[in-house]
Chains A and B, each alone.
Chain A
Amino acid sequence: MPRLFCCSCLVPRPAPGMSKKPAAQPTLHKVIMVGSGGVGKSALTLQFMYDEFVEDYEPTKADSYRKKVVLDGEEVQIDILDTAGQEDYAAIRDNYFRSGEGFLCVFSITEPESFDATQEFREQILRVKNDENIPFLLVGNKSDLADKRRVPLDACRERAAHWQVPYVETSAKTRDNVDKVFFDLMREIRSRKSDDSRATNGDVKRKKRRIIKCAIL
């Protein structure tokens, strides 16, 4: 199983190749934005990173962002990979997904098609990561456009419950819940990593804990 070989041995190794950077780098959490085109992945990212909202739509290919944040008193680095929602770039997604530690699966509450598409994204992530408990948040964006809402809240909640993932509604425009989704995801990644370091002993325990956590949420 080449996967096992790759994940457990190579990634946790503390930044082996980056000779340029100072040795004491804060922990890095790799977040990947997924979702259909135009749902607001880039908008969420830019809002989180730079507190700005971009009105005009410019399809993304693959953008990379990284900055230091303080997560529950601890300084960490968040690395955000903003992927393309447009089908044109679907072929290169697999590669990107592989490196992700946590996923924000975004759809627009004004666009049922984007909600439908989250199903496919979820499947693709599970296939690539081969891990049912990968840190994952279902994000309903554009909550400011409540009057144009076309995806009922119940349907969203139901799907999140089915996947056993949290569901959060955001607005990149009003910055509503923007920080929340990123920080929630980072917490999951962090707890997942500490699980992993213990999981070197046995991976049965890991799955158990995940289930408990979901129930709490």
Chain B
Amino acid sequence: MGPPPVVTGISPKEGPPGTRVTIRGEFLGTSVIDLIGLKICGCDCLLSAEWKSKNKIVARSGPCKGRGDIIVTTRSGGEGTSTVQFRGYHESIGPVKESAVWVEEAAPPSLPWGRRPMSPTTYTPPDPLGLSTEGDECKFPEDELNEMFPDGSGKLSDDNFQPGWYLLEHHSNTSFEDLKAGMVFLQRKVEGQKEGQLSFLKANTGAVMDQLDRLVLLKNMYEEDQRKNGKEPLPSLQSAIEESIKLADSLFSEILSRKENADKTREALSLLMRHKFLFQLPASIDRNIRKKEYDLVVNDYTRVKNLFGNTDVKLFQKILDEIDKKIEDLKQKLYTRMKTMPIHVQEQTKYIRLLISLNWEGDAAWVAITARKDYLMSLMEKVKDHFKHKEEQETNDRGKRKSKETEGEGVWSAWRAAWCAAACGALAAELHALWPLARRYFAGELAGEPADPQRHKDLKEMIIAGVELFSEHMRSCLLSGGGAVSADTLRTRLVANLRYLREAYDSLLKLDLPSQPLSIVEKVIFDYRVHGMTVFLQRALKRVKGLADKETWKIEEFTDYGAITNLPNLLETYMNDALSAIHKCVGSAGRREGALLADGSEPAAALHRHTHQILLAYSSALNDLAFKHPDQDFNNTSLSVALDQKLEESVTQSVVDGCSWQRRLLIAAANAHYTRRVTLTNIANTFENYGFPKPSQALQAAKEALSSLESTIAETYLEHKGDPLVGTIEPSMYMGRYRTDADALVDDARPYVYEIINNLIAVHAEVDSVCGPASSRYVRDICETVCEELARLAACAPAQLARAAAFQARLEYTLLHVATAGHLTRKAERMDNIVEGFKKRMELQLASLNCNMETV
């Protein structure tokens, strides 16, 4: 058995029944169940006891009166002791005493039947000392009195009345003189009572007589009554009482019923007051919805749900139903608003949150995301349709007024540009709304079920679908048509469209979208760039193809490679234009874009292919210029005629644009030569300057094509120039005097030699005027042809030719050799070389052989 409980502290130490007291001490029990008894002033308070710790118990005092110990009993320590005491007292409820009563909530303050002051319940007898007790505020502590007079009482009427108590209680402040006076008063009173009965009667004879008379009167009346009402007066009394009760009841019932009605009315009023909020809610919801104060509506709604959510009152339920209906409408309204595009994303988020707080069944944010995506798609389509429509209108209009074709093209590309701008803007704007919304959704800010993995996939698909549509539209918008626009418009459009695309792309990059949709957009941009490049190159090709019509045959410059027209320059300019446009417009890559002309990439190959085509086209243009002349006749007769006839005649006949066909042939050759040597190098440099991959293959092919063209031209020229020349040799050789005397003195060459030389001079003049330093080739070829003819004729000569004839021939050949010394073929040069070699080797011998020759 442990130590017994000891109570050493009580708070408070006194109070009326039901006071919450804190009991402190030692060994007050090891646990709740160890505490098995608690008595305060003898009252069992175990029921209300709250065991806090072994040092502390909280309990409520019982209906005890007076001082008493606090006895705690525990299983482990038995019955305990107490060093402190509790005093219970009953409070008399008076008019000014506060008391715990149930007060009706919001009860009207002034009720006629409210708390009426009650009359004091205790009767205080007059002071026996005849002293006034008024002003005796300073009361003597009751517990001290209790201590001093353990079994006494201060009440005059009590059996155990203790005068000391009474004096201390009522007269502790009374002066001694007063007390002495009181003593005298009391003694006088006692003296008065002690005087004899006789003297009393004597003093009051009159009164005694009077009383006797009254008694007689009473007796008479009593007897009369008995006579009148019989021995038992009670039944009649009873009936009278009953009657009066009935009357009182009837009187009261009316009052009571009125009171009841009043109570009911009051109750209804207070109910209305209390639930004013509820009753006014439908109206205030309507009002707030009208004012778009949705937050207020939501707050009110949650409040009303909390307050009256599970009420059983029919009226409340009805109102709640009404409110629910309104909220349902509101939800529908909010839902539609949230879904109706276009809507600012912030507003949309607001609606989503409202729907969430209104417990809208469904995934509001997801619906919003889907709606946004659908809107994006439809917006794209709308933009497309709009511009397609405009375009069609334009085409129809253009059909009507054909004259303004080029202008029409300009307008057409303007529509396309507007379309591109609109689509780009729409894509950027919508994704800017959709993506953050989705992000917040998946961050779990907007409820719903973002954890669903399907959602992630769906979102990705949505965004890709949107971007795909955009890309598709942009492709059909930008990558088709638009050929006939002027270069400047094309360039500005291209730059502008690229800017729109890049702006959109940039803003998507900023959004941190997944890479897949981004790469789709990037692909569009890239393709558009490639498209731009192709367009420029195609334009260049077209222009080069049209070069043939541009030829004026006007000599622009005498170069080292002959006289050229402005054709090579034009080629270079066109090529430069195209390349610089490519460089300026599409060459540079934007943020996070691939390089356009990476080595070995498709665009680079295309560039080379196109360059190839252009250069070949140039070459074939030159070819056409050289050989194809519809008004020119290339037959021999005409040529011979041309040779024979006077110059003026041939000029009038064959000169187009002030230039004969031979001249053109030669000019074309010079152009080709110049192009091959100079222009192509320039073009290659341009490629390098712009940092484009060098089109070596194309250049090589062009070179080959050009040099083969040159050869063809040279052959043709030779053919048409040499043949007639050669043809004249034979007739003129035998003209007249072929049959010379064998012994005739040969003193001069025959005239045909002069003719040959003259003809050669003419050719030389022609070629030299055009080809300059490059003319030797043509002259040499002609000379060779002439030599071959002479050799043929010599071979045909009869074997028994006379000496003179042989001499003649030898002379003529030597003369010819001398004349054409500047244009020897390689073979002829070889002979000269041999002769020179011989002379060198045999110098001494020859010198010895020739010495003293002067002297002869």
A contact set with B: CB distance below 8 Å: 2, 10, 16-17, 19-20, 42, 46, 49-50, 52, 60-67, 77, 79, 81-82, 94-96, 98-99
Interface residues of B in 1-59 (CB under 8 A from A): 8-15, 24, 55
- The prevalent SS among residues of A at the interface is mixed
Contact of B141 among A16, A50, A60, A98 (CB under 8 A): A98
Contact of A61 among B9, B12, B168 (CB under 8 A): B12
A81 to B84, CA, bound (A): 10
Is residue B798 contacting chain A, with contact meaning CB distance below 8 A?
no
Contacts A95-B141, A98-B141: A66 and B11 contacting too (C-beta < 8 A)? no
Contact of A16 among B69, B85, B138, B147 (CB under 8 A): B147
Residue of A nearest to B150 (CB): A17
Given A46-B24, A61-B11: 18 more A-B contacts, CB < 8 Å: A17-B148, A19-B150, A46-B9, A49-B9, A50-B9, A50-B55, A60-B12, A61-B15, A62-B14, A63-B9, A64-B10, A64-B13, A67-B83, A79-B84, A82-B11, A94-B138, A95-B139, A96-B141
A186 to chain B, nearest CB (A): 16
Q: Contact: B55 with A62, CB < 8 Å?
A: no
A-B contact pairs, 18 of them (CB 8 A): A2-B168, A10-B148, A17-B146, A17-B148, A20-B69, A42-B11, A46-B9, A49-B8, A50-B24, A60-B12, A63-B10, A64-B9, A64-B11, A66-B9, A66-B84, A77-B83, A82-B11, A96-B141
A63 to B84, CA, bound (A): 10
A42 to B242, CA, bound (A): 64
Q: Contact: A99 with B141, CB < 8 Å?
A: yes
Interface size on B, residues (CB 8 A): 25
Q: Contact: A65 with B8, CB < 8 Å?
A: yes
A66 to B141, CA, bound (A): 20
Q: Contact: A62 with B13, CB < 8 Å?
A: yes
Is residue B172 contacting chain A, with contact meaning CB distance below 8 A?
yes
Is residue B144 contacting chain A, with contact meaning CB distance below 8 A?
yes
Contacts A62-B14, A64-B9, A94-B138: A17 and B147 contacting too (C-beta < 8 A)? yes
Residues in B with CB closer than 8 Å to A67 are 8, 83
Q: Contact: A63 with B13, CB < 8 Å?
A: yes
Contacts A17-B147, A20-B69: A65 and B141 contacting too (C-beta < 8 A)? no
A52 to B14, CA, bound (A): 23
Residue of A nearest to B138 (CB): A94
Q: Contact: A49 with B24, CB < 8 Å?
A: yes
**Nearest 6 pairs of A and B residues by beta carbon:** A63-B11, A64-B13, A66-B83, A65-B9, A61-B12, A67-B8
Interface residues of B in 141-156 (CB under 8 A from A): 141, 144, 146-148, 150
Q: How many A-B residue pairs have CB under 8 A?
A: 65
Residues in A with CB closer than 8 Å to B148 are 10, 16-17
Q: Which among B9, B84, B148 has the greatest number of chain A C-beta atoms within 10 A?
A: B9
Contacts A64-B84, A66-B84, A95-B141: A2 and B12 contacting too (C-beta < 8 A)? no
A19 to B13, CA, bound (A): 20
Residues in B with CB closer than 8 Å to A81 are 13
Residues in B with CB closer than 8 Å to A62 are 12-14
Q: Contact: B84 with A65, CB < 8 Å?
A: yes
B23 to chain A, nearest CB (A): 11
A10 to B147, CA, bound (A): 10
A94 to B146, CA, bound (A): 18
Residue of B nearest to A10 (CB): B148
Residues in B with CB closer than 8 Å to A95 are 139, 141
Residue of B nearest to A66 (CB): B83
A63 to B168, CA, bound (A): 25
Q: Contact: A99 with B144, CB < 8 Å?
A: yes
A36 to chain B, nearest CB (A): 18
Residues in B with CB closer than 8 Å to A52 are 55
Residues in A with CB closer than 8 Å to B150 are 17, 19
A99 to B14, CA, bound (A): 16
Residue of A nearest to B56 (CB): A50
Residues in B with CB closer than 8 Å to A50 are 9, 24, 55
Q: Contact: A65 with B12, CB < 8 Å?
A: no
Residues in B with CB closer than 8 Å to A42 are 11
Q: Contact: B11 with A60, CB < 8 Å?
A: yes
A91 to chain B, nearest CB (A): 10
Residues in A with CB closer than 8 Å to B84 are 64-66, 79
Residue of B nearest to A84 (CB): B12
Q: Which among B83, B139, B141, B168 has the greatest number of chain A C-beta atoms within 10 A?
A: B83
A77 to B172, CA, bound (A): 30
A62 to B141, CA, bound (A): 14
A33 to B146, CA, bound (A): 23
A19 to B146, CA, bound (A): 13
Interface residues of B in 103-147 (CB under 8 A from A): 138-139, 141, 144, 146-147
A10 to B140, CA, bound (A): 14
A67 to B150, CA, bound (A): 24
A84 to B69, CA, bound (A): 22
A42 to B138, CA, bound (A): 27
A2 to B139, CA, bound (A): 13
A82 to chain B, nearest CB (A): 7
A180 to chain B, nearest CB (A): 21
Residues in A with CB closer than 8 Å to B172 are 2
A40 to B69, CA, bound (A): 27
A67 to B10, CA, bound (A): 12
A114 to B84, CA, bound (A): 29
A52 to B848, CA, bound (A): 153
Residue of B nearest to A97 (CB): B141
A64 to B11, CA, bound (A): 6
Residues in A with CB closer than 8 Å to B138 are 94
A155 to B148, CA, bound (A): 43
Residues in A with CB closer than 8 Å to B69 are 20
